């Protein structure tokens, strides 16, 4: 049976509003915090606008388990279970997506900021999560999507970060993992041997 566009949009809006209801104001740290837990990774995620909700997008992210970094506390990152057995987690950053290369995109393309944002784990796919992220305009950004092609920067709303913000997270995570070198996985550089040895 086909679902009408109106019903699909209504369903998407309800789903996203459920996620937004989980988006409380966390007391975040001024410095990146490294934790070891299950988390959502959105570093190469594609996102879509949420009908009727300004400033937010819905991003398709992946589930990982291990060391990750963000500004939320480790306690805040613990997985929570809702009354209908839906599972909620936060999205953070890790080296889990370093099989992709990063690309620097211009300020003309909108992007999504997903760090420390609420996610719901897909009940039909335990390695996938849907996260509500903040949409950003008029700011250059770095993303692990795009396949090293600048033309792809405007082909979707990609999850990303500012170059300075990403560098701060990478440095903190590398220190927390005991890496001797700060890994760099840009489209013009090779992966650090330290990262290869860790994953």
Asked if the model's pLDDT at residue 35 lies above 50, the reply is yes
The whole domain housing 19 covers: 5-198
Instruction: Write down the pLDDT at residue 195.
Output: 42
Q: Is the pTM of this model over 0.85?
A: no
Instruction: Write down the pLDDT at residue 187.
Output: 86
Distances (CA, A) of 35 to 50, 76, 101, 104, 168: 30, 10, 24, 27, 16
Nearest to 150 by CA among 82, 104, 102: 104
- Of 20-24, 98-102, 171-175, which range is least confident? 20-24
Total number of domains in the chain:
1
Q: Quick one: 37 exposed, middle or buried, by C-beta within 10 A (0-12, 13-18, 19+)?
A: middle
- Of 23-32, 34-43, 169-178, 179-188, which range is least confident? 23-32
pLDDT above 70 covers a percentage of the chain that reads 80
Q: DSSP H helical segments within the chain, as ranges?
A: 5-21, 163-176, 193-198
Give bridge partners of residue 89 from the DSSP assignment. Answer: 119
Cα separation, 191 vs 142, whole angstroms: 17
Nearest to 66 by CA among 98, 93, 30: 93
Q: Pick 11 or 120 by higher pLDDT.
A: 120
Mean pLDDT for 167-195 is: 78
Asked if the model's pLDDT at residue 24 lies above 80, the reply is no
| Confidence label for 199 from pLDDT (cuts 50, 70 and 90) | very low
Contact 98, 195 (CB under 8 A): yes
């Amino acid at each position: 049976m086909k679902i009408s566009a109106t019903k699909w949009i209504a369903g998407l809006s309800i789903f996203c509003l459920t996620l937004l209801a989980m988006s409380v104001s966390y007391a975040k740290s001024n410095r990146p915090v490294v934790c070891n837990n299950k988390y959502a990774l959105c570093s190469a995620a594609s996102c879509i606008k949420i009908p009727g909700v300004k400033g937010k997008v819905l991003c398709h992210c992946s589930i990982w388990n291990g060391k990750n970094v963000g500004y939320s506390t480790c306690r805040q990152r613990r997985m929570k279970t809702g009354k209908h057995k839906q599972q909620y987690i936060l999205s953070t950053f890790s080296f889990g997506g370093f099989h992709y290369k990063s690309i620097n995109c211009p300020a003309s393309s909108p992007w999504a900021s997903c760090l420390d944002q609420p996610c719901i784990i897909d009940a039909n796919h335990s390695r996938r999560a849907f996260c509500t992220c903040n949409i950003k305009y008029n700011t250059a950004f770095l993303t692990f999507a795009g396949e090293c092609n600048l033309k792809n920067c405007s082909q979707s709303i990609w999850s990303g970060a500012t170059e300075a913000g990403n560098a701060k997270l990478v440095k903190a995570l590398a220190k927390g993992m005991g890496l001797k070198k700060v890994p760099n996985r840009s489209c013009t550089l090779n992966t650090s041997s330290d990262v290869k040895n860790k994953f």
